[in-house]
Structure 1
Amino acid sequence: MPDRVGGRRPARGIRRFLAGRTAVWLAFALVHAALIALNLFAQGLPLGDVTGVYRIWAENAAAGYARMGIDLPWVYPILAFAPMAASLAFGGAWFGETWLGLVTVLNALTLSVLLGRTRLSRTRRVAAWWWLGFLALLGPIALGRIDAVTVPFAMLGLVWAAGRPRLAAVLLTIGAWIKVWPAALVAALVIALRRRAEVVMIALALSFGILGVSVLAGAGANAIGFIGEQAGRGLQVEAPLAVLWLWAIVAGDPGVHIAYDREILTYQVYGPGVELAAWLTTPLLAVGVVAVLAVGIRAAGRGAPVGRLLPPLALAFVVVLLLGNKVGSPQFVTWLAAPVVLGLVLRPARFAVPALLAAGAAILTHLIYPYWYGWLLVADPAFVLLLTGKVVLLALLFVWAIQRVWQAGKRAALPVDSGSAVPARDRQEGLR
């Protein structure tokens, strides 16, 4: 009996430790140390875009040769240059390490807000542990691209959305001017929040301000050149729609092949029907976004509470961007973290399914990129199957999210007081 009781005490102590902030921060340090090491030393050049492309853009601007987005059209919105320029703080030789340090600091600030200032709630603890696990499963790409800078802005914007909509609008708008995708989260806020007019006014005012400064700096039409640059892309090898042509290569179709586009700096699929498919992605993406908008507006019009509507609506917007994208780069999976974390903070039991599906997409992405990416580029059947599995998981995520948004609009299923959708402690932290 004493041994049994004595055995319970260490187990209880371990559980108590894992439930505290110290364990979460220790896990944060371990995960980020591992991801930094992988970015710097793993095979497949996982930090290649940062040190081989971002660094050159930053150095050219510093030397007065060309400022991307100002002197030349650019594939990114203008604020994407800010973290690239900041990563030159210790010189070009340390650009990669500085970039990784910058992303780690942003993630640390986000985790600090996520954990909150008061006693750590179970829901926030679950969300924090899931996010760290998601980063670990996704691998070095979780830190090694411009998308990694936008995720903290998106996550904080969603976590603060209901309680601090003005601040949320600022954060998400800044994120959208670094990489476009957080604009979809602004749309989710406009639909789900009652103070939607404030969100719209702040997003518009900030956007016009950023555009104005860009024009004054000499950008001209290049300030919005990223729109045309994206529209001119072909079908990238990782794009969901590209799976059809990858299986054609596996089947031995001599008319389909993969080649490197030196202008866009990506591997793309070429063959019969590819150009039409690449063109169709834009209208198909528009149809998907409009469908999500319609279902979200219906739910909001029927009085869906923020805690029930915003997480699945944000997830639906993000996943439709992933499925309808002609690029489909592996780092896009990082976008899933923001809506899933919000869902786990507000309704962890209900968000268990998308949390598992998103984790599965992260694992499959890590298996493909960066270590064995070359096998996908030769359309190896096993890696085409991995990519197909990832697309299936994203499709399941979309189905789950759109169903939950639709259900949020059922009057009979909704309480009159929406406060029950958000834990009381989290309302004090600003979620409500």
Structure 2
Amino acid sequence: MKGAVGTGLSVLAWALTRTLVLLWVLKVLVVRGPDVTSDVAVIYQGWYEVLRTGTYPVDDVTWQYPPAAALAILSPALLPFLDYVSAFFVLALVCDAAVLGLLLYAGRRPGKSMKGAWVWVAGVPLLGPTAYARYDLMVTAVAVAALFAAARRPRLAGALAGFGALLKVWPVLVLAGMRKGRSWIAAGVTAAGLLLVFAAAMPGALAFLGFQRDRGTEVESLGALVFHVARHVGWEGQVLLNYGSVEFLGPYVPQVSATALGLSVVAFAWLAAWRLRARRFTAGTTADAAFTAVLLFTITSRVISPQYMIWLVGLAAVCLAFRSSRMAVPGCLVLAATGLTFLGFPVWFDLVVASDARGIAVLAARNGLLVVAALMACRRLWTSTVPRPAEPARRRGRRPLPAQPARDKEPVEP
């Protein structure tokens, strides 16, 4: 009975908050700042028209996504009785509901918790209309499904991760904590097979690689804080729309961008070291590892777009669906950062672009929360899975030596 009441309350809260999100994206309620739905109404719909001709939009540098992203852009065709924009928002709502359904189903099973569902219910509206005005919610649904499938159906989990990687790259990181090689093999086979299909079916499937290479430092990234402050002490660079986002251009920008790439390499090296040394795995370790990996990817990226927060909210929700997860505090920090992201975009985006003190403060607080969450997640993942060098032998699965007489203190020769 208690579980049914909790489920009912979460569904009610979801319905109320999603009604608010729909009112935002349908412009019944207007949010201060730029129109976040223009990506769907202008950019996505423009790509849709090109994709329908059987080719990728290779002449548009804002097309920076792997080939399976075409499926998300074309998906409104599934609802031909609606216009493109309305159909896209309806499909976002369906994916949102699917994630909630997975979290509710998992939350009522042994060893699980309803906290994950509540994180999802609260986290999506904290991002404001951006949550439904990008296709990242669809990608997040695939990643969430992969994590829940990992324990019982590793091949399916791997296939979903591989498919997600061809939607928007980052879902490949959910493999970080998957122990069974079948998951990795399934991911590789799925990604390679789909890549061949897309490349054979439509020209320009790999054009996104060149466009991503040329990205600069976006105004909301961690590295951008350097230039926000530098503008007040005579830095001569500019803020321009570049490759589909608002970026800093000018002196020292390439160096900051290179530093971000270097930090990404360091982050992935740490993940590799963790994976090699991890020995203690619980039911929630796979989700904890995925959440940590994506946090590291996010804070070291040259671009921290607002929609990235949907990834983190979804993975935090999966973590908290497991009672054994160690990510409760980092997950709460992500929720707080998501609310600040809404304030930074779209509400105060003009202040962020102008490097106004209020804009800098919101951006610094958001990015600071993400950095703290990432470092805390790394520490908790490491300490919960990697045995300490001085850890007693019995905790590492070894039988302890029998007690020795007090006079027998000499080391044993091998």
Q: TM-score, normalised by structure 1?
A: 0.83
Query: Structure 1 residues 217, 308: closer, same or farther in 2, change over 3 A?
Result: closer
2:44 alignment partner, one of 54, 58, 70 = 54
| Amino acid in the other structure paired with 1:233 | R
| Displacement after TM superposition at 1:384 (Å) | 1.0
* TM alignment of 1:240-259, pairs within 5 A: 240-249=222-231, 251-259=232-240
Deviations along 1:54-95, one digit per CA (max 9) or x if unpaired, are: 011102232x28433699994101111112112144569721
Give the 3-state SS of the residue equivalent to 2:117 in structure 1: helix
The alignment partner of 2:121 has SS state of helix
> 1:9 — aligned with what?
none
Give distance in 1, aligned partners of 2:314 and 2:19: 22
Deviation at 1:326, TM superposition (A): 0.9
Aligned CA distance change for structure 1 residues 119 and 212 (closer, same or farther; 3 Å): closer
Q: Which has the higher helix share?
A: 1
Which residue of 166, 191, 200 corresponds with 1:177? Answer: 166
Give the alignment's TM-score, normalised by structure 2. 0.86
Q: 2:93 aligns with which of 99, 104, 108?
A: 104
Q: Which of 378, 397, 404 pairs up with 1:402?
A: 378
Alignment equivalent of 2:124, drawn from 114, 135, 149: 135
Deviations 1:142-199 (A, max 9, x none): 221121111111111112212221111122211111101111112332xxx2x2x211
Q: CA deviation at 1:121?
A: 6.7
CA distance in 2, matches of 1:118, 1:409: 27
1:299-351 deviations in whole A, cap 9, x for unaligned? 1xxx2114353233212210111111111111111111233122211137843
Whether 1:38 aligns to 2:24 is: yes
Please list every run of 5 or more consecutive structure 1 residues that lacks an aligned counterpart in the other structure.
1-12, 418-432
The 3 A distance-change label for structure 1 pair 188 and 21 is same
Q: Distance in 1 between matches of 2:3 and 2:395?
A: 37
Aligned match of 1:147: 136
In structure 2, relative to structure 1, the CA distance for the partners of 1:236 and 1:70 (3 Å cut) is closer
Q: Please state whether the residue corresponding to 2:152 is helix, strand or coil.
A: coil
Do the aligned partners of 2:162 and 2:191 also contact (CA within 8 Å) in 1?
yes
Counterpart amino acid of residue 206 in structure 1: T
Q: Which residue of 2 aligns with 1:319?
A: 295
Question: Cα offset for 1:120?
Answer: 6.4
Maintained 8 Å contact 1:73/1:225 = no
Q: Secondary structure at the match of 2:168?
A: coil
- Please give the secondary structure, in 1, of the residue aligned with 2:254: helix
Q: Distance in 2 between matches of 1:60 and 1:324?
A: 33
Q: In the TM superposition, what are the counterparts of 1:33-432 in structure 2 within 5 Å?
A: 33-41=19-27, 42-43=30-31, 44-62=34-52, 64=53, 66-68=55-57, 74-90=63-79, 94-116=83-105, 119=108, 123-189=112-178, 193=179, 195=180, 197-219=181-203, 222-249=204-231, 251-261=232-242, 264-299=243-278, 303-307=279-283, 309-347=285-323, 350-407=326-383, 408-410=385-387, 412=391
In 1, distance between residues paired with 2:96 and 2:199? Answer: 31
Deviates more, 1:274-283 or 1:91-100: 91-100
Contact 1:259 1:267 in 2 (8 A): yes
Q: Structure 1's 167 and 273: CA in aligned 2 closer, same or farther, altered over 3 A?
A: same
Q: Report the equivalent of 1:4.
A: none
> Deviation digits for residues 98-145 of structure 1, max 9, x if unmatched?
111111111212222221289567943211011111112121112211
CA contact (8 A) 2:160 2:187 kept: no
**Structure-2 residue corresponding to 1:423:** none
Letter in 2 for 1:359: L
Q: Which has the larger radius of gyration?
A: 2
In structure 2, distance between residues paired with 1:177 and 1:205:
12
Amino acid at match of 1:375: L
1:212 alignment partner AA: L
**Identical pairs, percent:** 26
Q: Distance in 2 between matches of 1:71 and 1:142?
A: 24
Q: Determine the C-alpha separation between the residues in 1 that align with 2:22 and 2:313.
A: 19
- The Cα shift of 1:207 comes to 1.2
Please tell me whether the aligned partners of residues 157 and 168 of structure 1 are also in contact (alpha carbons under 8 angstroms).
yes
> Matches of 1:121 and 1:309 in 2, distance apart?
16
Match of 1:259, SS? strand
Call closer, same or farther: CA 1:416–1:284 in 2, change over 3 Å: closer
